[in-house]
Amino acid sequence: MPEEGTRLRRAITPRLLLLFIVGDILGGGIYALVGKVGAETGGAIWSAFALALVMAAFTAGSYAELVSKYPRAGGAAMYVHRAYGRPFFAFIVAFAVAASGITSASALSRAFGGDYFAEFVDLGTIPVALALLALIAFVNFRGISTSVKLNAGFTLVEVGGLLLIILIAVVAIGQGDAEVGRAFEWKEGTSVFAATLAGATLAFYALIGFEDSVNVAEETRSPTRVYPKVLFAGLFITGAIYVLVAIGASAVVPTGDLAASSGPLLEVVRQGPLGVPEKLFSAIGLLALSNGALINMIMASRLLYGMADDGVLPRPFAEVHARRRTPVVAILFTTAIAAVLVVTTDLSKLADTTVALLVVVFAIVNVTVLVLRRDRVEHEHFRVPSIVPVIGVGVSIALLTQIEAEVYARAALLVALGGVLWAVNVWLVRREAAKAR
């Protein structure tokens, strides 16, 4: 078991790793997108989340093999670089992951500014979303210790909120106040498969996050043995919660009401039988959404910082505040991009852009796991059947067929921005080399 050869402390136990994975996946997406998924599927919202869970499991299998084979920090970009030896290709993969964090945070910020916040005061979606991004930037700037403490607390709150939704549905069904049959009605005018696949594209957004855990492999105890089973356990737990929440929401609230709301789970509280104060649940929803946005902005800013520190992005992105020791330029840059996206793009398209960026990365990872089969390592590691990554590629292609051209254009612009920054950095490095001669 490869425990040596790391400068990082292996302090993450299996239990802590499971909490990390569950907390990362259980972001605010479920709080924002249940209704949007219902608009695609009809009342059978759970079917989209179940299909998205199955789809995610194939790529999770590829990540499990790669992490147990190479238990190092670095994620998809490190695997791609090892497989193909193309620094620019690895950079684009890393930048796509960073861009997905920015688009995800933008989507969650817009959801934050919707019905959940309007329960207290209606200031408009965009102004509130921008204010949240500014607050997140401040927390991010203050330091990782503050961010991690907030994340831990918020994760417990958002899990409690989802369990409350399940409880409301159970009581409503028990009292005969719910229509369980509605959860098994698909959208009229389309086939069950087409409706479920269309919904799964959005539902997939709520399941992403498992891939972030690869970055803590180097700090996990016995990662070769522990990581695969903990990853699948975390994915199953979150998927099961999502399916139960989706069934409960459909049973309690008409699909049209869910689809029309930017705070769909708040509708479950309003129409449910427990009399839970709406402001209390709105506060839970706001914490969940802000937590997801915070996690994504931390990830994006640290990725840009890391790439600059490795010399593949312009040096200013690696600048660290003298007192706070946080990457201030990277934080400001990612916040600015997120603000532009909030102003110019709606919630569903931001979620789709996140999915588009990550699913392309997932397709590459699934191919990469097969390419790296030729690379032998000395220790035993988890290995998925070869059909798993092949199906993972097929799943990625299926998801990508559901995404509109406008979404691809937005994703391409973000990746192109990374290419421009790469080119600027190459020019600056060559100019400095010329001056030194």
Tens-digit pLDDT profile for residues 373-402: 998 888 888 899 999 999 999 999 999 988
Q: Which fold has domain 14-375+383-436?
A: Amino acid/polyamine transporter I (1.20.1740)
Burial of 62 (0-12, 13-18, 19+ CB in 10 A): buried
Sequence-ordered list of residues with C-beta below 8 angstroms from that of 88, at least 6 positions apart, any chain: 422
Q: At what angle do helices 87-111 and 347-371 cross, to 10 degrees?
A: 150
345 vs 429: CA distance, rounded Å: 35
Instruction: Name which of 210, 308, 275, 226 is nearest 3 in CA terms.
Output: 226
Please enumerate in sequence order all residues whose Cβ is within 8 A of that of 404, keeping only pairs 6 or more positions apart, or say none.
349, 352
DSSP state of 187: P
Q: What is the pLDDT of residue 31?
A: 87
186 forms beta bridges with 42
Mean pLDDT (10-residue bins), the chain, 437 residues: 49 75 78 91 95 93 91 79 90 93 94 91 94 92 66 80 95 94 93 93 87 68 82 92 95 94 90 92 90 85 85 87 82 96 94 93 95 88 94 93 93 95 91 81
In this structure, what token pair is assigned to residue 382? 């988890």
Question: In this predicted structure, what is the pLDDT of residue 143?
Answer: 67
Residue 40 corresponds to which tokens in the numbers above? 């695609």
Q: Are 139 and 147 in contact (CB under 8 A)?
A: yes
Listed by start position, the domains of the chain span: 14-375+383-436
pLDDT of 419 = 94
Report the pLDDT value the prediction gives residue 142, as an integer from 0 to 100.
80
The C-alpha atoms of residue 34 and residue 202 are separated, in whole angstroms, by 9
Half-sphere exposure of 85 (CA within 13 A, CB side): 1
pLDDT at 45: 96
- The phi, psi pair for 137, rounded to 5°, reads -60, -40
Distance CA 373, CA 386 (A): 10
**Shortest CA distance to 299 belongs to which of 159, 149, 95?**
95
Helices 264-271, 29-41: inter-axial angle, 10-degree rounding = 90
What pLDDT does 416 receive? 96
Rg (CA), the chain: 21
Identify the pLDDT of residue 254: 95
Q: What pLDDT sits at residue 8?
A: 45
Cβ atoms of 44 and 184 closer than 8 Å: yes
Residue in 209, 76, 74 with CA at minimum distance from that of residue 151: 209
